[in-house]
Amino acid sequence: MSALTLDELETHGGDIDTFFVCPVDGMLVGRVGDRWQTCRCHPELESEWTGDLARLAELCRTCGAALIRSGSRWSLFHCERCMDVWRKRREDGLVTPPFGRHSFMNQVPVDPDDPGVADGVCRMVATIDTLDGWYLAIVQRTIDTETPLLDYLALVEPSSPEEWLRR
């Protein structure tokens, strides 16, 4: 499950009143317990984290409007609504963006003796970069200054998987 409600964010130590969306890189910044989830624009807030990623929450990379769980290399990039579309397309053998950060999630071979590994990883990274650019465009068409998360969620016009495919 990738969805993260505002109540769950707070249950996991997220201080909703401190969370905002950075218009430069689209990342969520906010206090989580005694640490900060931050972005490259705010290195002064960097904190020690345990786990794979110094993140509790992100926004869906497809629609830009849903709060999703993060913090692991196994975290999905997409909300449940968008993932339903992407899973169906993958089942049908059609093009999808990467589901998450890890190559296993994206059907990239992991056998180092397989000559397709390097090409698969390069394609995956390039597509993640494209997806990040798409997501950042959603954020930047919505805001041009640091904006509280709740205000951003009220302002954003969600995109859709179909729009991503037409890009």
Instruction: Write down the number of H helices and E strands in the chain.
Output: 5, 6
- Considering the entire predicted model, what is its pTM? 0.86
Instruction: Report which of residues 53 and 110 the model is more confident about.
Output: 53
| pLDDT surpassing 60 at residue 131 | yes
CB neighbour list of residue 22: distance below 8 Å, 6 or more residues apart: 28, 29, 39, 41, 42, 146
Predicted local distance difference test score (pLDDT) of residue 109: 56
Domain boundaries, the chain: 6-161
Predicted pLDDT at 108? 57
Q: What angle do CA 128, 159, 8 make, to 5 degrees?
A: 80
> pLDDT per residue over 10-22, tens digit each?
998 999 999 999 9
Task: State pLDDT tens for residues 38-51.
Answer: 998 988 888 887 77
- Give the tens place of pLDDT for each residue, 54-107: 889 999 999 999 999 998 888 889 999 999 999 898 888 887 888 887 665 655
